[in-house]
Amino acid sequence: MLENKNILIIEDDKDSRELLKIYLTKWNYNVFEASKPFAALELIKTHSIQMALIDWVLDETSGIEICNLIRNKFRDNYVYIIIITGQKTRRDVVEALSQGADDYLMKPFNFEELKVRIKAGERILTYQNNLKDCYDKLYEASIKDPLTGTFNRQTILERLNSEFERAKRLNDDLSVIMSDIDFFKRVNDSYGHLVGDSVLKHIGKILKKSIRKYDTVGRYGGEEFLIILPHTSIKVAKNIAERVRQSLKNEVFIIKNFSIPITMSFGISHISRASNSSLLLQQADQMLYEAKRRGRNKVVAIDEIKDYTIII
């Protein structure tokens, strides 16, 4: 079944268009009309149209050419195309199908036959949409941490490598924040791992809400989270980390009738101090260690440390 019941008619002849519209409306479809190629493409994009009835012979172009345009333009949004024409040779049928049409209906046609062919197209689209949904869910599961909803370790490290290479190539800013929940073992020991999981899940939501659209956050491991901040100076990175730290400090976690105070420590590194992404990550980790050493619930950035040497 079509998700939005939208069908596009691409036909020059007004009478033919009106007749098709009468039947399609009667069958409870939302009908859109076009006679020019680019108007058709815009309608498909704007209204997420998944099915089109296209006349082979058009004034400005041909139905086959529009078919090609649709296939090239909408690779990720499949449009089921039925070519309607008076061409009747086997060669014509083969050409239409080889150029991207899904079905072929010869004039004059019976409208009940058209209805059957539309229903057949709907079954194919339903099957395809289900496959796409399954693929999207599998892909989402492969890149996300199932507990916190942030990116998993592998994905966040891949993003770090990619952003580092981009920033180096463009001579752009890049900051990284390594964060860790303070005394998280006490939470697990005092309240149990289920409560600990709830805390991690809530922290994930707060971190995702706190970052900008082009930033990335992932669960690095255990109770550690890695935040990647493209186009970001170390000064701005400190402001972001401090904002998150304050919001956590002022929030009391109510989980299963337990009132649990939670704080986090943050370590910040910047691309200007690192020759590769691994070093950038290690520096953020060392700054996090320094924040812990200073008593936790702190933000420490690499520009605060004089004569800094990475400890491996």
Backbone angles phi and psi of 216, in degrees to 5: -135, 135
Contacts 24+ apart (CB under 8 A), 300-308: 300/265, 300/266, 300/267, 300/268, 301/234, 301/237, 301/238, 301/267, 301/268, 301/269, 301/270, 302/234, 302/268, 302/269, 302/270, 302/273, 303/234, 303/270, 308/273, 308/283
Q: Is the peptide bond before 261 cis (omega within 30 degrees of 0)?
A: no
- Residue 228 contacts residue 213 (beta carbons within 8 Å): no
Among candidate residues 42, 95, 163, 223, the one labeled active-site is: 223
Question: How many residues are present in the chain?
Answer: 312
Work out the angle at residue 178's Cα, subtended by the Cα atoms of residues 174 and 181, and round it to the nearest 5 degrees: 155
Q: Which residues, other chains included, contact 252 with Cβ-Cβ below 8 Å and sequence gap of 6+? A: 259, 260, 261
Backbone angles phi and psi of 222, in degrees to 5: 55, -120
Catalytic site includes residue 165: no
Q: Give the Cα separation of 195 and 298 in Å (integer).
A: 24
Neighbour-count burial of 292, counting CB atoms closer than 10 A to its CB (0-12 exposed, 13-18 middle, 19+ buried):
middle
Residues belonging to the active site? 223
